[in-house]
A and B are shown apart, each in its own frame.
Chain A
Amino acid sequence: MLEALSYDFMQNALIAGIIVSFLSGIIGSLIVVNRMVFLAGGIAHASYGGIGIAIFSGIPIFLGTSVFAIIAALFMAFITMNKRESIDVFVGLVWAVGMAIGIILIDLTPGYNADLMSYLFGSILAVNDNDLYFMGSLFVIILFVITFWYRDILAVSYDSEYAALSGTNVKFFYTLILVLSAMTGVIAIKVVGLILVIALLTIPIYIAQNISSSLYSMMITSGFIATAFTIVGLWISYSFNLTSGACIILVSALSLMIFMLYLKLK
């Protein structure tokens, strides 16, 4: 592992992995306590439409994907607030239509050798410096937003009816949580791929939820657990020349099994 770190791409991969791990720890905690896993999964997959638009029109991929993901998140927020009885239908719809748009647009892009796989399963070893700057700034923005509005976000997540009674703008914060998870999804796609985003956004969080007594400590704990999974996964991926995203997820799943066994035997 140490000699691997002498390569630039490996250093970038490690930094990107740590940023994504902490982000998914923080945002994943919010997604899980708000029971939005399906919604977040829908948004993450719909983001593929953004990748298609970016490639087709030649704009930076992170930018195209972020804008598209945020629009998908706003749409999801609108649906959850106004068509509560048919949420799952619309989530499925956004999920599928987003991906379809992406695939068609990549088909239509002349000369582009579509590498769908790298977006499905991630390409952490191809993270460049610009990607890191983008991830870093997004991380700082999300950290700032969460710190600033922690009490409101906590209140809306725990008991939205009561939060509304005490004067909190529940719709705003609900939408905010969805937008933040959309942005996190965009970054996580790069590292573990969109198929596997949801596992990274849930497995470390499930473990942390069982050992944390506050949302704040759950976020931090999830971040550290996810970092450990990412580093171990990367190391296995490097040593045995396997797909990195899949390694990270399998390490997480295996650890989850051990953790559940531990809970049972305790």
Chain B
Amino acid sequence: MQLQINNNFAQTVIEIENLSFSYDKDLVLEDINLKVFDKDFLAIIGPNGGGKSTLIKLILGINKVNKGSIKFFDTPLGKKNLDIGYVPQNTNVNINFPIKVVEVVLMGHKKNKTPLFGYKKEEINHAIDVLKQVKMQEYANSKIGSLSGGQRQRVMIARALYSNPKILLLDEPTSNIDADGQSHIYELLKNLNKKVTIVVISHDLSIILDYATKVAYINKKLSSHDVSGMRKDFATKNKHICEVELLEMLGKCKC
């Protein structure tokens, strides 16, 4: 099933064709076809173990594609994906690590040259600029462990933005964050979406439906749906939509 509604003129950012992937003998993903267009806000949902994170890892090149293909702006995936910004799932690890916020952001620096001594002035300035985008510039010199979960997640987004990526991949960015922090993150993503394409894995359905333009459901196989036109049809502020209700809803839509 492919999705091309209202996107005839948009540029294809990621094109996945006939992708299958297995760990040892377990087939995790089967015959996935997916196109992500420029400025899409795609939410990937599905049960645990359904292959969501595996798909992200394939796009990032952490896992190697063994059947089918993934193209990024019409070229096959290279080793270093300079144009992909990635925000990993668990940002609560290593909280005691003695590191300043600005240093974490500077790790978004992609390697294209030999080792460097220290940090250059323009790199630090760029890191501060990126922190401004996520409204965290005043914390630049704070220790990462002193931030709240939501603030730390914004720093991780800043790290992903450091290399000016064309697309941002986020793996459950709002798990383990309080409700207030969650809506901050989604407002931020909505703003960023004006400039970059966003792909987000989430269980956080009610918020996803407020912001995402497309939903892909992955459970070994993928089915995708355009939700941009149907948001007015149900109470978006209702925080109690469960996955079953969503699937029912998606079943009713014309895609």
Binding site for B on A (CB under 8 A): 33, 147-152, 154-155, 157-159, 161-168, 209, 212-215, 217-218
Binds A, one of B30-38, B97-105, B220-228: B97-105
A155 to B162, CA, bound (A): 15
Nearest chain-B residue to A35 (Cβ)?
A: B94
Q: Check: B46 CB closer than 8 A to any chain A CB.
A: no
Determine if B88 and A167 form an interchain contact, defined as CB atoms under 8 angstroms apart.
no
Contact mask for chain B residues 103-142; partner A; CB cutoff 8 A; 1 contact, 0 none: 1101111111001111100000000000000000000011
Chain B residues within 8 Å of A215, by CB = 97-99
Chain B residues within 8 Å of A162, by CB = 86, 88, 107, 159
Determine if B60 and A165 form an interchain contact, defined as CB atoms under 8 angstroms apart.
yes
Interface range on chain B (Cβ under 8 Å from partner) = 20 to 34
Determine if B107 and A155 form an interchain contact, defined as CB atoms under 8 angstroms apart.
yes
Q: Say how far B107's CB is from chain A's closest CB, in angstroms.
A: 5
Chain B residues within 8 Å of A209, by CB = 96, 98
Q: Say yes or no: A149-B115 contact (C-beta < 8 A), given A33-B97, A167-B110, A209-B96.
A: yes
Determine if A33 and B98 form an interchain contact, defined as CB atoms under 8 angstroms apart.
yes
Chain A residues within 8 Å of B108, by CB = 166
Determine if A212 and B86 form an interchain contact, defined as CB atoms under 8 angstroms apart.
no
Q: Check: B67 CB closer than 8 A to any chain A CB.
A: no
Determine if A150 and B118 form an interchain contact, defined as CB atoms under 8 angstroms apart.
yes
Determine if A166 and B100 form an interchain contact, defined as CB atoms under 8 angstroms apart.
no
Q: Besides the contacts A162-B159, A166-B109, A215-B99, what 12 more A-B pairs have beta carbons closer than 8 Å?
A: A147-B117, A150-B118, A152-B115, A155-B107, A165-B60, A165-B81, A165-B86, A166-B80, A166-B111, A167-B110, A213-B98, A213-B100
Q: Check: B62 CB closer than 8 A to any chain A CB.
A: yes
